[in-house]
Structure 1
Amino acid sequence: MLKFPAFALIALTLLAPLAVAQVSIIGGGVAKDCYEAAKYQRVSASAGEKICTKAIEAEIMNMTNKAATYTNRGVLRMRAGRLEAALSDYDIAKQLDPTEGATYLNEGAAHIMRKDYNSAMVSLNKAIELDSHDLYAAYYNRAIAREHTGDIQGAYFDFKRADELNPESDLAKRQMERFQITTN
């Protein structure tokens, strides 16, 4: 069985997401081209979106692959600033495969970009519950949402967990440097 993974975004800052691969890809076809457009950014977001739309409309896929393709198109739409269209794709992907953590992770990133931090928390909590392949990105993004909802301590501990899950990355380390730990 071919499996086309969904691609995940991590919010580096509130407006500049960084793409992070979810899982490796096996197989070929237009759905693979869609995945690669989302992952490698070798084409514009609009060109990548067209590739994904072609895959959705013309390629025969199982539900898991179709859901991943909707998620990947959502990533491309999100990059283009088309957040409502991205959220629509994530809703379809969740209906097709409600167990794919990457969809909820990307949905959370879109809500962060919309500054809807409470909705982001719901999506990111679900990504964590589903043990998303990019769990560190879910914790990182949830830390951003927590900080903006006033949960500073929760934000710090989510940045810390993100760092533990991906110690090679400096993202969470840099965020934790902003915090001052005090004991009472």
Structure 2
Amino acid sequence: MILRSTLGTALVLAVLAPAANGAATVLGSRLGYDCALAALAGYTDQTSIETCTLALESAGLSGRDRAGTYVNRGVIQLRRKAYRQAHADFDTALALEPQLGEAFVNRGAAYLAQHRFAEGVAEIDRGLALGADEPEKAFYNRAVAHEALGDLKSAYLDYQEALRLKPGWSEPERNLARFAVRLK
């Protein structure tokens, strides 16, 4: 099978990679829940960061909820292109909960945003192995990374998997349409 992409990788990363960030569910406190909602809704405002920080400073979070709140604040930081802060939050989440797949997946997304594609793939692989909450986003981001690394077959297969996991999602559909598949 020969795969060929019809759109430059840089445009794919600049336009599409940020669309696939995953948040973590937090149930332990109202502030933690509000932080999770802000991450899920795609907010990037300072008030959302402050809500997450207040949740982390409060005593009402379990270990897993605290780790999830770090992931959620990291997702918001990632969308703000505050990569150092995002990495720090994902690292802290993993120090609290080393098996938290979402932290690995989102740390991988941060690497992708910094054009550190091989590191991004490795982190996403770890997150998928641990069971990411939104695996379709992980496969989508890994596809973007594979495409940037020139591994078109893996990119194509990951876009297909993202679409299989979330039928009707326009981003993987649009990217799959750019590929021409020829049998050898």
TM norm. shorter chain > 0.5: yes
Residue 113 of structure 1: how far off its partner (Å)? 0.6
What's 1:136 paired with? Answer: 136
Could you tell me how far 1:168 is from its partner in structure 2? 2.3
Residue 38 of structure 1 contacts residue 73 of structure 1 at CA under 8 Å; is this kept in 2?
yes
Aligned to 1:33: 34
1:91 aligns with 2:91: yes
Verify the 8 A CA contact 2:142 2:158 in the aligned structure 1: yes
Shift of 1:131: 2.1
**Separation of aligned partners in 2, 1:69 and 1:20:** 14
Partner Cα distance (1:118, 1:21) in 2: 20
1:62 maps to 62
Unaligned runs of 5+ in 2: 1-10
Deviations 1:69-114 (A, max 9, x none): 1001101111111011101100010111122211111111111110
User: Is the Cα–Cα contact under 8 Å of residues 163 and 173 in structure 1 kept in the other structure?
Assistant: yes
1:151-174 CA distances to partner (integer Å, 9 max, x unpaired)?
111110111111111112121111
Structure 1 ranges of 4+ moved more than 3 A: 19-28
Q: Which amino acid aligns with 1:100?
A: L
Name 1:82's counterpart in structure 2: 82
Deviation at 1:40, TM superposition (A): 2.2
- Classify 1:109/1:168 alpha carbon distance in 2 versus 1 (closer, same or farther; 3 Å): same
| Higher RCO, Cα 8 Å, sep 6+ | 2
Secondary structure, counterpart of 2:75 in structure 1: helix
Alignment partner, residue 160 of structure 2: 160
User: Shift of residue 54 of structure 1?
Assistant: 1.0
CA spacing shift, 1:23–1:61, aligned 2, 3 Å: closer
Quote the Cα distance in structure 2 between the aligned partners of 1:25 and 1:58: 14
Provide the secondary structure at the position in 2 that maps to 1:168. coil
**Does the C-alpha gap of structure 1 residues 34 and 22 become closer, same or farther in structure 2, counting only changes over 3 Å?**
closer
CA distance in 2, matches of 1:21, 1:120: 15
Q: Which runs of 5+ in 1 are unaligned?
A: 1-11
What SS class does the counterpart of residue 180 from structure 1 fall into? Answer: strand
